[in-house]
Amino acid sequence: MSKINFKPNEDRVLVEASAAEVKTASGLYIPDTAKEKPQQGKVIAIGDGLKDKPVTVKVGDKVLYGKYSGTEITIDGKEYLIMRNSDIFGTI
């Protein structure tokens, strides 16, 4: 894992989304237009948390989050999501 030069503020978490499924369980290939947004990813960086609410995940955790959670950003040519700690449902 390469070191990223980004530190989220407060209770925000930087997540690298997992790749979208390209094939169904039965073996059918999914076209790009029909792919679902991934709802899991890997935590890349975390903020310091709020005074009374610390961040509950750590760097390297695989997490589940809502389909429309977070904001897409690009850092060093790579796509990431930045979201609040409360947008994360749990770790895998």
List pLDDT tens digits, range 19-48.
877 787 888 887 877 777 778 999 999 999
d(CA 74, CA 83) in angstroms, rounded, equals 14
Q: Looking at 4-53, which runs of residues are DSSP E strands?
A: 12-17, 40-46
pTM: 0.84
3-class SS at 89? strand
Sign of CA dihedral 32, 37, 42, 48: positive
Sign of CA dihedral 1, 36, 64, 51: positive
d(CA 24, CA 34) in angstroms, rounded, equals 12
The predicted pLDDT at position 2 comes to 59
